[in-house]
Amino acid sequence: MKRMGIEALYRRPRTTKPEPGHKSYPYLLRGMAITRPNQVWAMDITYIPIARGFVYLAVVLDWTIRRVLSWRLSITMEAAFCVAR
């Protein structure tokens, strides 16, 4: 493939390149002892490629017990699906 000058088509991760002008926030949990459930939750949004585009997965995790507390799928990345109950 290299000799022929062709390469696979897929999205490459850009997780290490911060956008210019974006604010960098401090890590507020540094030095904090996390010892009980419901003390610290985490939220993450990721995309899952499918045949005709992407679906977005939003997940709320409890750090102490390492369990998924809630999750939701959406075909659009709008704030409403992240905060819906």
What would you report as the CA-atom Rg of the chain, rounded to the nearest whole angstrom? 18
Angle subtended at Cα 14 by Cα 74 and Cα 1, rounded to the nearest 5 degrees = 105
pLDDT 10s per residue in the chain (85 long)?
Answer: 778 888 777 777 766 777 788 888 898 999 999 999 999 999 999 888 888 888 999 999 999 998 999 999 988 878 887 777 6
Helix or strand run (H / E) with residue 82: helix 79-83
Question: According to the model, what pLDDT value does residue 67 have?
Answer: 93
Asked whether the beta carbons of 58 and 43 are under 8 A apart, the reply is: yes
Tell me what pLDDT residue 40 has: 93
pLDDT at 52: 85
Q: Model pTM greater than 0.75?
A: no
Whole-number pLDDT of residue 85: 66
